[in-house]
């Protein structure tokens, strides 16, 4: 599948934003995070900025962005519509929590309720984003039970690194948030490795023979394409990445998104002050590069069954 940069930016930026929002909500409700105005302003501000940037960039690839509001209407059948509804709905508790925390310096009462709602809706929105891909029966690498869980795990892990960095920069103790980030990174790594194992062993959906139904007469290969130049279907669905490059990029994802920030978070949990901030800053930069690569690869490795009509390899 063609990796659309607007969608990569959307899913990674809003993913980290929703992850951060979820953890801020949980921290506020549990009392793990103090009702400090600056923390509330910076934490929720960063989360909402990432979410909003992502949502806006997701409209860039639309043919008619001015009609985007219509996408809220078909939540009964469409995961994309459900994502839109949840994304809009999440702004409500996030905004209430923001008013309480950043302006009034309170995270109790109605603001605590908003914190719980935000902590539930934020990861749910990310899960539903993952379901857009997971629900497509045409793409073997996406139609996997781990697709949406990986989206949620990576959102929480990248959000946790940002929260730890923020707390370190504000001079708070980072032992707990940095350890939490390391734990969430480890969970995301385990899920992503299982996901890769699953897509590497899943049988192809079809072959040129089964797609055309002509396999019973012998091997099917394309003699002549219907058009001299690539059409929309080939440009959108025909993107493939060489196996050896994919393996290299997978190693980079494991290192930059998961292993390196895991080590840096563990290191930071034992440090304090500027050295902890520096370690977490490096971890945040590393996860950002890693998660963008991970999302690019998620598209590039996905093979659409339609390419069998174009004589492509099994998909």
Partner 1 sequence: MTSLPAPQPKKLGLVIDLDICVGCQACATSCKEWNAQGYSAPLVDEDPYGADPRGPWLNRVHTYEVGEGDAARTVHFPRSCLHCETPACVTVCPTGASYKRAEDGIVLVNPDTCIGCKLCSWACPYGAREYDHLDGVMKKCTLCVDRIYNENFAAEDRVPACVRACPTGARAFGDLGDPESAVSKNVAARGGYDLMPELGYKPTNKYLPPREKRTGTPHPVAGTAATPAPTGSPVESLFAWIDRALSGQMPSNDGPN
Which residues contact partner 1 by CB under 8 A?
A: 1, 61-65, 67-68, 70-74, 76-81, 84, 132, 135-139, 205-206, 208, 210-214, 216-233, 236-237, 304-306, 309-311
| 263-301 core/surface letters (b: 16 or more CB in 10 A; e: else) | bbbbbbbebeeeebbbbbbbbbbbbbebbbbbbbbbbbb
Tell the smallest beta-carbon distance from residue 249 to partner 1 (Å).
22
Grouping H, G, I as helix, E, B as strand and the rest as coil, residue 167 is helix
Nearer to partner 1, 58 or 287 (CB): 58
Nearer to partner 1, 292 or 305 (CB): 305
Closest alpha carbon to 118 in 22, 17, 249: 22
Cβ neighbours, 10 Å, residue 245 = 11
Tell the smallest beta-carbon distance from residue 138 to partner 1 (Å).
5
CB 47, CB 98: distance < 8 Å: no
Nearer to partner 1, 223 or 242 (CB): 223
Tell the smallest beta-carbon distance from residue 309 to partner 1 (Å).
6
Nearer to partner 1, 64 or 244 (CB): 64
Nearer to partner 1, 102 or 205 (CB): 205
Nearer to partner 1, 98 or 208 (CB): 208
Cβ neighbours, 10 Å, residue 66 = 8
Nearer to partner 1, 46 or 205 (CB): 205
Tell the smallest beta-carbon distance from residue 281 to partner 1 (Å).
36
| 139-168 core/surface letters (b: 16 or more CB in 10 A; e: else) | bbbbbbebbbbbbbbbbbbbbbbbbbbbbb
273's CB contacts (< 8 A; 6+ apart) are 171
Tell the smallest beta-carbon distance from residue 128 to partner 1 (Å).
12
Q: How far is CA 96 from the centre of its chain?
A: 25
Tell the smallest beta-carbon distance from residue 47 to partner 1 (Å).
24
Closest alpha carbon to 167 in 16, 48, 36: 36
Tell the smallest beta-carbon distance from residue 181 to partner 1 (Å).
33
């Amino acid at each position: 599948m063609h990796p659309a940069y607007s969608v990569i930016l959307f899913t990674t930026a809003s993913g980290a934003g929703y992850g951060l929002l979820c953890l801020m909500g949980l921290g506020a409700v549990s009392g793990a995070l103090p009702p400090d105005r600056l923390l509330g302003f910076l934490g929720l501000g960063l989360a909402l900025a990432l979410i909003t940037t992502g949502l806006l960039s997701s409209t860039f690839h639309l043919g008619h962005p001015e009609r985007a509001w219509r996408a809220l209407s078909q939540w009964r059948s469409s995961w994309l519509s459900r994502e839109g509804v949840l994304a809009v709905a999440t702004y409500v508790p996030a905004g209430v929590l923001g008013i309480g925390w950043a302006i009034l310096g309170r995270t109790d009462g109605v603001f605590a309720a908003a914190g719980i709602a935000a902590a539930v809706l934020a990861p749910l929105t990310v899960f539903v984003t993952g379901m857009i891909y997971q629900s497509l029966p045409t793409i073997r690498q996406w139609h996997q039970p781990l697709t949406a869980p990986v989206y949620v795990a990576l959102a929480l892990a990248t959000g946790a690194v940002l929260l730890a960095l923020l707390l370190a920069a504000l001079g708070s103790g980072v032992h707990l948030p940095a350890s939490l980030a390391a734990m969430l990174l480890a969970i995301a790594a385990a899920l992503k490795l299982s996901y890769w194992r699953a897509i590497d062993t899943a049988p192809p959906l079809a072959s040129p023979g089964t797609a055309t139904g002509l396999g019973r007469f012998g091997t099917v290969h394309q003699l002549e394409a219907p058009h001299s130049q690539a059409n929309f279907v080939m440009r959108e669905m025909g993107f493939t990445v060489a196996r050896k490059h994919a393996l290299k990029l997978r190693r980079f994802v494991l290192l930059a998104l998961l292993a390196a920030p895991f080590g840096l978070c563990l290191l930071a949990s034992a440090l304090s002050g500027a050295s902890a901030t520096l370690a977490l800053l490096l971890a945040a930069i590393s996860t950002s590069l890693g998660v963008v690569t991970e999302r690019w690869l998620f598209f590039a490795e996905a093979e659409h069954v339609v390419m069998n009509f174009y004589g492509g390899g099994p998909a």
